[in-house]
Structure 1
Amino acid sequence: MERLYLMVRIAGELVAIDANEVGSVVEIDAVTPVPRVAPHIAGLFALRSRVLTVIDSCAALGLRATGVQTTPEAVVVQIDGHSYALLVEAVEDVESAGAPMPCVATLERGWARVAVGRLATERGDILLIDPARLVLGPDEQAAA
């Protein structure tokens, strides 16, 4: 059975997020920094009278932080009743694909933590990621 997936770029890689987990795609214009938070949390962002925690996806993978100025697009997700904006380099498209298959490639540590499978698409195999694992960040995931 075909499902819809949002294709985004994170750290230069094309990855997929299940469209059922996506609330919206927004442009981030101003992020308010928050002191003493984990390094993968870029700050807070107001969207239609809601406050969202902004997650630097690259930093959450244990890679270099991208910074909000270079990454104005974000994918809004709800996890355990909280709203998060996941910074992405680009939102590419929405595509349909079948059920995810197991990953057969060896992934870098950060990608391995967030991967839930791979999708066979017209573009080739695309890594399917779990936004909830991305929100946890590298330190919390290692402890879980």
Structure 2
Amino acid sequence: MERLYLMVRIAGELVAIDANDVGSVVEIDAVTPVPRVAPHIAGLFALRSRVLTVIDSRAALGLGRTKGPAMPEAVVILIDGHSYALLVEAVEDVASGDMLAPCVATLEPGWARVALGRLSTERGDVLLIDPALLIQGPEELAAA
């Protein structure tokens, strides 16, 4: 059965997030830094009277902090009653897909940790990621 997936770019890669996990897509104008947080947490953002923890998706993969100005687009995810905004380079499309299969390619450790499998879409094969695992941060933090 086909499902809907949000197609986003993170660290230059096109990846998919299950649309059922997505609350909304927003533009972020300002992130308030928070001292002494994990390196993959960019700060806090107010959205419609809610405070969201902003996750630097690139840093969460262990690929270094996002360079340059803050990314303006974020995917809002609700996990265990907490709202998170995952910074992404671009929100590209919503696509249907099916035939979730294991990844046959060797992935870098950050990607391997968040990967659920390979998704076949009309845009070709795309890596399906688990946003909850991305929110946990790099492997060394997730293991702690």
TM-score range, shorter chain: over 0.9
Contact kept in structure 1, 2:98 and 2:119, CA below 8 Å = yes
Does 1:11 pair with 2:11? yes
Contact kept in structure 2, 1:6 and 1:17, CA below 8 Å = yes
Residues 97-142 of structure 1 show CA distances to partners (whole Å, capped at 9, x for unaligned) of 014211111000000000001101122210000000000001222x
Contact kept in structure 2, 1:57 and 1:88, CA below 8 Å = yes
Segments of 5+ residues of structure 2 without an aligned counterpart are: none
Residues 74-101 of structure 1 show CA distances to partners (whole Å, capped at 9, x for unaligned) of 0000011100000000000000001421
- Pair 1:22–1:68, CA change in 2 (3 A): farther
Q: Structure 1 residue 70: deviation in Å?
A: 4.1
Q: Which amino acid aligns with 2:85?
A: A
Contact kept in structure 2, 1:45 and 1:52, CA below 8 Å = yes
Report the Cα distance in structure 1 between the residues aligned to 2:19 and 2:69, rounded to whole angstroms.
Answer: 26
Q: Which amino acid aligns with 1:32?
A: T
Segments of 5+ residues of structure 1 without an aligned counterpart are: none
CA RMSD of superposed structures (Å):
1.2
- Pair 1:10–1:54, CA change in 2 (3 A): same
Contact kept in structure 2, 1:52 and 1:84, CA below 8 Å = yes
Does 1:131 pair with 2:134? no
SS at match of 1:100: strand
Residues 58-97 of structure 1 aligned to structure 2 (within 5 Å): 58-66=58-66, 69-97=69-97
Identity of paired residues, percent? 81
Query: Which moved further from structure 2: 69-78 or 103-112?
Result: 69-78
SS at match of 2:30: coil
Q: Which amino acid aligns with 1:77?
A: I
SS at match of 1:96: strand
SS at match of 1:133: helix
SS at match of 1:20: helix
Relative to the length of structure 1, the TM-score reads 0.95
SS at match of 2:5: strand
Does 1:20 pair with 2:3? no
Report the Cα distance in structure 1 between the residues aligned to 2:97 and 2:118, rounded to whole angstroms.
Answer: 10
Aligned length: 143
